[in-house]
Amino acid sequence: KDVQKEREPHVYLSKEEVKEKIQSYNSSVTDKLKMTLNANGIYTGFIKVQMELCRPITVQSSQSQGGCALSNKETAFYLPDGCVNTLHISSTNTVREVIEALLKKFFVADNPAKFALYKRCHKEDQVYTCKLSDREHPLYLRLVAGPKTEMLSFVLREHETGEVMWEAFSIPELQNFLRILDKEENDQLQILKNRYAAYRGKLEEALRGALKPG
């Protein structure tokens, strides 16, 4: 269930409250991904983000020699289902910064405005998915929910088509989107052609059997 408007109020915690929550969080961690509180009140820790991307991503790689880039190559491919990435972030990092860090880690050339970060949580035996605003702080949400991903997890998805601010993209990016859409359209068209060709073959085979002299 997608809940777009559901928002939990951000409770501003005192430094002592943060310290207590971090101690409680670290005592419950089972994967050694603990949080650390710095003297300035900023804390750091880890979040895991599941990639649920329906469309292919564009990955940019450069061939270099002697420290100088010779050429850039872009390749579009689909990420495997269930791909999970772990990021080390601070309490000051926003959703937008987390998205940018994820794309940088995967060498993704697509515009970050194409993607959105969601939180997935369990309430009353139901799973709720809520899109986070760019200014929210994922590590704070992780701290409040605790380390169990069953209680709270993060998911990266593409924006819905109607939500994308296309004017934020460059002409080459828009052209790349068109190429991807053309490929998807051709793939779906070929699937339909193969399906109907199979139906036609079975009908013709049945018709030949019915017309045989008995």
**Does residue 173 fall inside a structural domain?**
yes
The residues pairing with 131 across neighbouring beta strands, listed in sequence order, are: 118
Clarify whether residues 145 and 192 are in a common domain: no
Q: For the segment 186-201, what is each residue's pLDDT rounded down to a tens digit?
A: 888 888 898 899 888 8
Domain that residue 184 falls in: 169-210
pLDDT band for 184, please (50, 70, 90 cuts): confident
Domain count, the chain: 2
Does residue 137 carry a pLDDT above 50?
Answer: yes
Burial class, 130, CB count within 10 angstroms (exposed 0-12 / middle 13-18 / buried 19+) = middle
Residue 4: predicted pLDDT: 44
Clarify whether residues 117 and 20 are in a common domain: yes
Of the residues 162, 179, 201, the one at which a domain ends: 162
Residue 166: predicted pLDDT: 66
Continuous segment of H or E residues that includes residue 103: helix 95-105
Residues 162-185: what's their mean pLDDT?
72
Clarify whether residues 125 and 194 are in a common domain: no
Clarify whether residues 157 and 196 are in a common domain: no
Clarify whether residues 127 and 186 are in a common domain: no
CATH of the domain at 126: 3.10.20.90
Residue 163: predicted pLDDT: 57
**Does residue 4 fall inside a structural domain?**
no
Retrieve residue 184's tokens: 């998807």
Residue 21: predicted pLDDT: 94
**Does residue 116 fall inside a structural domain?**
yes
Give the pTM: 0.66
Query: How far apart (Å, rounded) are the C-alpha atoms in residues 192 and 11?
Result: 52
Residue 172: predicted pLDDT: 76
Angle at which helix 138-145 crosses helix 15-28, to 10 degrees, equals 70
